[in-house]
């Protein structure tokens, strides 16, 4: 199992990988920048428990003490959650500086994929991916997640792109970069707090075994990542009109405050939480748990296919 001064894999995760057992990676900016303490810690523990109950080993990833940490113990999870927004937010461009500084950092989709690739993990679950921000034709604000998906062979289970983004342009960029966008049990790309963005996926697959076969084929061809859109459960979804109006109000507030670039997404999520009186956070937690559940089932199918 690969180990270096910049990569530390927990014994449990290393043992699972060497034994061909299913592993689901979990990113950590959702812990540091996605929700407040102590809800973030409760969520992190619950999501790991869901992965375990689904038959897979959870591997929460963060940068701590000068290394990518792949698989965190409970004390490290608590430390990460308590650090919260005071932690750095690590995308690919930040990694070298953060590792050298030895500070705590949450890993984005892009850097979690990077760590997965280093560790040999094929699959990870998140809430929603980053993408093309509204107004990107002027600001060129496009998440590094999309570039990472185009080049790094890791499958990402998500509830679509964050609804604060320009989802149409996000899907266009994914198409240009050759990233297959799969709908898990859906023909439409999900929109984070709601089940549909109104835009179709490239391919619908309805079972973990079907998704596992596609992932195997994609990676065997030496191609990049796979994006798996898993809609939030209907009972946890927010009203589409309400959340659309709330996002517009939050964007106006961000513009007035001069909030942009890497500070924009955490600000918008926090402002939407305030404007919805916490409803967005409840929905966010529910969709992350649902993604972890589906990712565990896909990881089990991947391990079975590899063994069989």
Supply the CATH number for residue 94's domain.
3.40.1790.10
Q: Any residues with CB less than 8 A from the CB of 100 and at least 6 apart, and which?
A: 66
Query: Active site includes 279?
Result: no
Average pLDDT along the chain = 94
Residues in the chain: 308
Within 10 A of 75 (CB to CB), how many other CB atoms are there?
8
* Residue 2 placed within a domain: no
List 27, 48, 148, 289, catalytic entry: 27
* Residue 15 placed within a domain: yes
Determine what percent of the chain is predicted with pLDDT higher than 90.
84
* Residue 138 placed within a domain: yes
CA atoms of 40 and 89, how far apart (whole Å): 15
Split into its structural domains, the chain has a count of 1
**pLDDT at res. 1:** 43
CA atoms of 227 and 216, how far apart (whole Å): 13
Query: Averaged over 189-204, what is the pLDDT?
Result: 96
**Cα separations (Å) of 221 from 23, 153, 210, 215, 243?**
22, 10, 17, 10, 40
User: For 45-102, what is each residue's pLDDT tens digit?
Assistant: 999 999 999 999 999 999 999 999 999 999 999 999 999 999 999 989 999 999 999 9
The rounded Cα 206 to chain-centroid distance in angstroms is 21
The domain containing residue 162 runs over which residues? 7-307
List 48, 148, 162, 270, catalytic entry: 162
* Residue 117 placed within a domain: yes
The rounded Cα 274 to chain-centroid distance in angstroms is 23
Cα first-last separation, the chain: 22
Q: Any residues with CB less than 8 A from the CB of 299 and at least 6 apart, and which?
A: 22, 23, 24, 54, 55, 56, 122, 123
* Residue 105 placed within a domain: yes
CA atoms of 25 and 13, how far apart (whole Å): 10
* Residue 1 placed within a domain: no
pTM reported for the whole predicted model? 0.94
Query: Active site includes 162?
Result: yes
Contact between 264 and 133 under an 8 Å Cβ cutoff? The reply is yes
């Amino acid at each position: 199992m690969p180990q270096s001064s910049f990569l530390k894999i927990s014994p449990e995760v290393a043992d699972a990988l060497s034994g061909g057992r299913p592993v689901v990676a979990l990113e950590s900016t959702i812990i540091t920048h996605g929700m407040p303490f102590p809800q973030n810690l409760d969520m992190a523990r619950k999501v790991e428990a869901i992965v375990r109950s689904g038959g897979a080993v959870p591997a929460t990833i963060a940068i701590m003490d000068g290394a990518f940490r792949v698989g965190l113990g409970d004390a490290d999870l608590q430390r990460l959650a308590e650090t919260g927004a005071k932690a750095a937010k690590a995308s690919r461009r930040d990694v070298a500086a953060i590792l050298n500084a030895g500070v705590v950092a949450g890993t984005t989709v892009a850097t979690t994929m990077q760590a997965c690739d280093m560790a040999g993990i094929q699959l990870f679950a998140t809430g929603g991916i980053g993408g093309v921000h509204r107004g990107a034709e002027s600001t060129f604000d496009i998440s590094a997640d999309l570039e990472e998906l185009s080049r790094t062979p890791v499958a990402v289970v998500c509830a679509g792109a964050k609804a604060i983004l320009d989802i149409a342009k996000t899907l266009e960029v994914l198409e240009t970069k050759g990233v297959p966008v799969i709908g898990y049990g859906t023909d439409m790309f999900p929109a984070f707090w709601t089940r549909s963005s109104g835009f179709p996926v490239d391919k619908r697959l309805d079972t973990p075994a079907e998704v596992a076969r596609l992932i195997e084929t994609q990676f065997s061809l030496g191609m990049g990542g796979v994006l798996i859109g898993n809609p939030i459960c209907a009972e946890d979804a927010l009203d589409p009109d309400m959340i659309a109006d709330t996002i517009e109000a939050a964007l106006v507030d961000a513009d007035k405050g001069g909030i942009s670039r890497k500070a924009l997404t955490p600000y918008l999520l926090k402002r939407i939480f305030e404007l919805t009186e916490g409803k967005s956070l409840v929905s966010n937690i529910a969709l992350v748990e649902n993604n972890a559940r589906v990712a565990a089932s896909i990881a089990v199918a991947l391990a079975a296919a590899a063994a069989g």
